[in-house]
Structure 1
C-alpha cells in the first residue's frame, strides 16, 4: 500500500514538474512555429493574426505585446552577431547592408524582455529609415555602441545582453513568395569595451 502511494506521488511530481517545465520552455525559449529567419534576423509573420500558434499567443500575452497585423508590418529580432555570439550592450557593432522592401522601418536596441533600452539624455532611442545617411548605392552602416560614433549611431547603455529590433512597415516580406528581395543587414562585432 505504501509502495503504491509512493509511486503515485512520484508520478504526480513528474507529471506536474514536467508539464510546468515544458510550458515554461514553450513560452520562454521556443521560437514557435512559422518563424521566418533571414541571416541573423528572425520574424514571426503569423504573430497578430488568427493563424498565430498557441505558443506565440501565450508569449504575447505574458509580455503584454501587441504585435502588428500582417498588413501593417513585421518585426525582426537579432539576438546574435554574424559569428553566432550573443549581442552585448558593452560591445560596438556595425550593421551593414540594406533593408528589405518596406515603405518605412525602425531600428532600436532592447533588453531580452524586448523593452527598449534607455539611450540616455539627448540621444535618439531609435533610428528610422528616413533619417539615416546612405551611400550612393542605397546601403547604410549603423554603429551600435555605448560610445558616440560618427554617422548613423544607435546608442546603448548598461550591461548584459541585448536584442536589435528591426520593424518593417508596409512590407511584402511576411508573405514572401520568392519575388521579394530578402537581403537583411549584417550585424558584425567591431570591439568590446567591457
Structure 2
C-alpha cells in the first residue's frame, strides 16, 4: 500500500512543480526579446519567426495576433515613473512624446492585456490624430475616472491596469537602440478613496 502512495505523491509533485514552472515562465519572465524604455516594455520579435519559445507560448495561450515588424510595435506600462503599479482608482498624467510613427493608439487594459471596461461617454482609447499637442509636438494626457480638460483617457473600475501604446509603421520596430527611443513619462497625480 505504501508504494502506490509514494508513486501518487511523486506524480503529484511532478505535475504540480511542472505546472508551477510553466505558470512562472509564462507570467513572470519577460522573455528573451524584451525592449525596455523607462517604464515601457515591448517585445519586438513577438510577430516574427524569431520569437522565443516562451513568447510563442504566451501568444498561443492568450490568442493574440501580434504585429509584425513591418506593421508596428506595442509597448506596455504596468508601473508609473516612480515605480508604483498602475491602479484604475488613481489618476495619472502621461507627458512627453512618442517615437516617430505613422499612427499610434493608447488604451488602458487589465493585466491580461484586454481593454478595460468602457465607461459611458468617451471612446475606450486615444489615438495620435485626435490629441491636442504643444508647440514642440509633445502632449499631456490625463488618465482617470473623472473627466479632465484637454486630452483625457477614461478608465473605470478598480484593480490593476496596464497602459498599451501601439506604434504603427514605426522604425523602432526594426531594432532601434533603446537609448535612442523617447517614451512618455507616467506620473501619479492622486487616488480616489
Fold equivalence (TM over 0.5): yes
Query: In structure 2, what is the Cα distance between the partners aligned to 1:36 and 1:96?
Result: 20
Query: CA 1:154–1:138 in 2, change beyond 3 Å: closer, same or farther?
Result: same
Query: In structure 2, what is the Cα distance between the partners aligned to 1:57 and 1:128?
Result: 28
- Residue 15 of structure 1: aligned partner: 14
- Residue 76 of structure 2: aligned partner: 77
Give the deviation of 1:15 after TM superposition: 2.1
Give the deviation of 1:74 after TM superposition: 0.5
Q: For residues 1-194 of structure 1, what are the structure 2 equivalents within 5 Å?
A: 2=2, 8-178=7-177, 181-194=180-193
Give the ranges of 4+ consecutive aligned residues of structure 1 lying more than 6 Å apart after TM superposition. none
TM-score normalised over the length of structure 2: 0.93
8 Å CA contact 2:70–2:173 kept in 1: the answer is no
RMSD of aligned alpha carbons: 1.8
Long gaps (5+) in structure 1 = none
Query: In structure 1, what is the Cα distance between the partners aligned to 2:179 and 2:83?
Result: 26
3-state SS of 2:182 partner: coil
* Larger deviation, residues 159-168 vs 116-125: 116-125
Query: In structure 2, what is the Cα distance between the partners aligned to 1:112 and 1:170?
Result: 26
Give the deviation of 1:41 after TM superposition: 0.3
Long gaps (5+) in structure 2 = none
Give the deviation of 1:168 after TM superposition: 0.3
TM-score normalised over the length of structure 1: 0.92
The aligned length equals 193
Give the deviation of 1:189 after TM superposition: 0.3
1:14-72 alpha-carbon deviations (Å, 9 max, x no partner): 32221110011112222111100000000000001111111111111111111111110
* Larger deviation, residues 78-87 vs 20-29: 20-29
Query: In structure 2, what is the Cα distance between the partners aligned to 1:97 and 1:106?
Result: 15
3-state SS of 2:187 partner: strand
Query: In structure 1, what is the Cα distance between the partners aligned to 2:114 and 2:186?
Result: 20
